[in-house]
């Protein structure tokens, strides 16, 4: 069973720019499938980072996830979503570190509102109107020893 982390960036930033911000090294950067859907980028980084990643643009986005304070909802008329897929048997610590490094690069290099969720169910990180907040701090972030990778602990 795979685990998916979805990192959603509000706005019309081109997918290629998001890919470059998140993955500055060209060898790791998601690219379009030859003959695939335009605007859909993919990289199989299972060997080096522990996950595969897709990046795509979308419209009329809606997210609902469980947060520390109950159900949380968010809408964005246009967005870019990075989906990190960790397959069964992945080195979770290595994958989370690499994934959160990509998320951190994206957060630090832009000002967009962002949301990170786990399996579409649990809210982990938001930046709304410039305010960065971690969710599930006592549980997820500390359990995986990644509390210091993005923003305040």
Q: Facing residues of 131 across strands?
A: 128
Domain coordinates in residue numbering, the chain: 3-143
Distance (Å, whole) CA 150 – CA 12: 23
pLDDT computed for residue 141 by the predictor? 63
pLDDT computed for residue 153 by the predictor? 45
Distance (Å, whole) CA 62 – CA 46: 29
pLDDT computed for residue 151 by the predictor? 63
Phi and psi of 100, rounded to 5°?
-70, -25
Phi/psi-derived region of residue 151, left when phi > 0, alpha when psi is between -120 and 50, beta in every other case: left
pLDDT string in tens for the chain (153-residue length): 689 999 999 999 999 999 999 999 999 999 987 777 778 999 999 999 999 999 999 999 898 888 888 888 998 999 999 999 998 887 888 898 899 999 999 999 999 999 999 988 888 889 999 988 887 755 766 666 566 666 654
Second-level CATH architecture of 3-143: 2-Layer Sandwich (3.30)
pLDDT computed for residue 79 by the predictor? 96
pLDDT computed for residue 121 by the predictor? 87
Angle at which helices 92-108 and 15-22 cross, to 10°: 120
E-assigned strand segments in the chain: 3-10, 31-32, 40-45, 51-67, 70-86, 114-118, 122-128, 131-134
Longest CA–CA separation in the chain, Å: 44
Cα 19 to chain center, whole Å?
Answer: 11
How many secondary structure helices (H) and strands (E) does the chain include?
3, 8
């Amino acid at each position: 069973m795979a685990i998916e982390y979805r990192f959603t960036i509000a706005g019309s930033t081109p997918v290629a720019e998001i890919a470059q911000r998140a993955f500055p090294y060209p060898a790791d950067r998601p690219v379009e499938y030859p003959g695939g859907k335009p605007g859909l980028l993919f990289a199989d980084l299972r060997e080096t980072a522990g996950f595969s990643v897709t990046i795509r643009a979308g419209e009329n986005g809606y997210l609902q996830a469980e947060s520390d304070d109950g159900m949380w909802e968010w809408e964005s008329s246009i967005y870019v979503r990075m989906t990190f897929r960790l397959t069964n048997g992945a080195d979770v610590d290595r994958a989370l570190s690499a994934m959160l490094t990509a998320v951190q690069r994206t957060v630090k290099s832009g000002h967009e509102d962002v949301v990170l969720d786990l399996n579409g169910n649990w809210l982990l990180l938001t930046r709304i109107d410039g305010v960065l907040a971690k969710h599930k701090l006592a549980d997820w972030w500390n359990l995986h020893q990644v509390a210091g990778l993005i923003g305040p602990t």
